[in-house]
Amino acid sequence: MSLQQLRLFKAVAEYKSFSRAANELYISQPAVSIHIRNLEKEYGVKLFEQLGKRIYVTEEGTILLSYVNKIFSLLDEVKVHFQEIQEPFKGNIVIGGSNVPGTYLLPKIMGKFKENFPEINLILKIASTRNIEDLLMNNKIDFGIIGHKPTNEDIKFEPLLEDCLAIIASPNHSLSNKAIDLETLIKEPFVLRETGSSTREFIEKIMSDKNLKLNIIMELGNTEAIKQVVNANLGISIISIYAVQNELQQGYLSEIFCHALELKRNFYLVYHKDKNFKKIVSIFIQFIKGALTKF
List, for residues 169-205, the tens digit of each pLDDT value: 999 999 999 999 999 999 999 999 988 888 999 999 9
In this predicted structure, what is the pLDDT of residue 154? 94
In this predicted structure, what is the pLDDT of residue 86? 62
pLDDT band for position 295 (cuts 50, 70, 90): confident
Decide if 95 contacts 125 (C-beta within 8 A).
yes
| Residue 196: partners with Cβ closer than 8 Å, 6 or more residues away | 128, 129, 130, 131
Give the DSSP letter string of 216-246. Answer: EEEEESSHHHHHHHHHTTS-BEEEEHHHHHH
- How large a percentage of the chain has pLDDT more than 90? 68
In this predicted structure, what is the pLDDT of residue 87? 60
Q: How many CA atoms are closer than 13 Å to the CA of 33, on its beta-carbon side? A: 8
In this predicted structure, what is the pLDDT of residue 79? 77
pTM exceeding the 0.85 threshold for the entire prediction: no
The mean pLDDT of 18-35, rounded to a whole number, is 88
d(CA 43, CA 67): 14
Whether the predicted pLDDT of 123 surpasses 70: yes
List, for residues 230-276, the tens digit of each pLDDT value: 999 999 999 999 999 999 999 999 999 999 999 999 999 999 999 98
What integer best gives the mean pLDDT of the chain?
92
| Residue 106: partners with Cβ closer than 8 Å, 6 or more residues away | 95, 97, 124, 145, 288
Whether the predicted pLDDT of 228 surpasses 70: yes
In this predicted structure, what is the pLDDT of residue 270? 98
- At 52 the three-state DSSP class reads coil
- How large a percentage of the chain has pLDDT more than 70? 98
In this predicted structure, what is the pLDDT of residue 84? 64
Domains of the chain (ranges, CATH numbers) = 3-83 (1.10.10.10), 88-160+266-292 (3.40.190.10), 163-265 (3.40.190.10)
List, for residues 45-79, the tens digit of each pLDDT value: 999 998 887 888 999 999 999 999 889 888 887 87
In this predicted structure, what is the pLDDT of residue 88? 61
d(CA 70, CA 12): 17
pLDDT band for position 140 (cuts 50, 70, 90): very high
In this predicted structure, what is the pLDDT of residue 184? 96
In this predicted structure, what is the pLDDT of residue 195? 85
Closest CA to 197 of 231, 237, 143, 161: 237
First vs last Cα of the chain: how many Å apart?
52
Q: Which helix (H) or strand (E) holds 189?
A: strand 189-193
Decide if 4 contacts 35 (C-beta within 8 A).
yes
